Amino acid sequence: MCGIVGLFIKDPSLRPELGSMLTDMLITMSDRGPDSAGIAIYGVDTDNRTKITVQSNTPEVEFAGLDSDLGDAIGGAVSMRIKDTHAVLEMSDDIAAAAREALAEIRPSLRIMSAGDIIEIYKEVGLPKDVAARFQLSQMGGSHGIGHTRMATESAVTTMGAHPFSTGPDQCLVHNGSLSNHNSLRRKLIRNGMVFETDNDSEVAAAYLTDKMRQGCNLGEAMEASLQDLDGFFTFVIGTKAGFGVLRDPIACKPAVMAETAQYVAFGSEYRALVNLPGIDAARVWEPEPATVYFWEH
């Protein structure tokens, strides 16, 4: 069992509230996943800038002087925002690839949570309310976001085993369920050049979609293909720069409820997660159909 929440804002006036709405939804899903929690926030797009979110178990040591050290290593300006065990590094797009390589040299034990134009991922072990407070999730604004509360079944309870998983630029995936063919699929994806951080089944699903999109599929086509290639139980919520998608396996035993108003599209593992959203009483509320691709884009 895990909990998933997602919010896609249609009315720009609600964007500053994204973090507070998602945080409330996330905490409501604590019963479904008290092990660890994570959130992906899609914020403001600053032209020609890349954000890399990194995590450290010793932030006071590893984040000290990280912006200047990284700037020196790649010969460009790097800014840094520290939030507890995470830091968001920002730099111009043309030096972002060099920055990733340099990070592995100058701070080899840092973990990269996400990279892209607008995505920031924060995840840690602990109760969702504690994780949300550590990163001040409720104060973040943005156009869309995805959260996950984890009850581990397939791999260890660690920061890297928490969701969301990001395997491509501005992409992320959260998963409720379990995949049975993830080991064989992981071997295939490694041969295609994908890199894995964990033994987790959900990371394989994320990498599968990234791999398909690298081959030229759009997200919808990648999701359709996954219905053929992924064996197991899943409800996925998938984020991209433009929006988010929802997909359930053909058996669809992992719960999912959606709500849509003129202001937003919301996803919850249970209706409880949606009850405090504005205008929910008048929202269109439905269960996404099995084996059906849903997608909303800005």
Partner 1 sequence: MNLQTIDMAHVSLRELNTTLQKPDDATRVSGWEVINSKGSHAIAVGLDAPIDVTIKGSTGYYCAGMNKQATIRVKGSAGPGVAENMMSGTVIIDGDASQYAGATGHGGLLVIKGNASSRCGISMKGIDIVVHGNIGHMSAFMAQSGNLVVLGDAGDALGDSLYEARLFVRGKVKSLGADCMEKEMRPEHIAILKDLLARSGADAKPEDFKRYGSARQLYNFHIDNASNY
Q: Which residues bind partner 1 (CB under 8 A)?
A: 252-253, 255, 257, 270-275, 285-287, 290
**Cβ proximity to partner 1, 127 vs 275, nearer residue:** 275
Catalytic hit among 2, 172, 217, 253: 2
CA dihedral in degrees (199, 137, 236, 120; nearest 10)? -70
- Which residue from 3, 29, 1, 52 is spatially nearest to 276, judged by alpha carbons? 29
Query: Torsions phi, psi of 98, nearest 5?
Result: -65, -35
Active site residue 172: no
Minimum Å gap between C-beta 131 and partner 1 is 23
Tokens of 242: 């433009």
Q: Decide if 110 contacts 159 (C-beta within 8 A).
A: no
Q: Which is nearer to partner 1, 227 or 285 (CB)?
A: 285
Output the six-digit token pair for 225.
């293909």
Nearer to partner 1, 127 or 252 (CB): 252
Q: What angle do CA 228, 234, 239 make, to 5 degrees?
A: 90
Question: How would you label 42-64 residue by residue, b for 16+ Cβ within 10 Å and e otherwise?
Answer: bbeeeeeebbbbbbbeebeebbe
User: Count H helices, E strands: the chain?
Assistant: 8, 15
Tokens of 168: 């491509």
d(CA 18, CA 233): 29
Closest separation between CB of residue 68 and partner 1, Å? 49
Tell me how far, at minimum, the Cβ of 275 lies from partner 1, in Å.
Answer: 4
DSSP summary character for residue 77: -
Quick one: 92 or 292, whose CB is closer to partner 1? 292
Minimum CB distance to partner 1, residue 197 (Å): 33
| Distance in Å, CB of 94 to partner 1, minimum | 48
By beta-carbon proximity to partner 1, the closer residue of 158 and 292 is 292
Token pair for 266: 């919301």
Contacts of 133 (CB under 8 A, 6+ apart): none
What the block records as the tokens of 218 is: 């759009």
| Residue 54 parent element (H or E) | strand 49-55
Q: What share of the chain is helix, strand, coil (3-state, %, to 5)?
A: 35, 30, 35
* Smallest gap from residue 272 Cβ to partner 1 (A): 4
Nearer to partner 1, 97 or 253 (CB): 253
**Active-site residue list:** 2
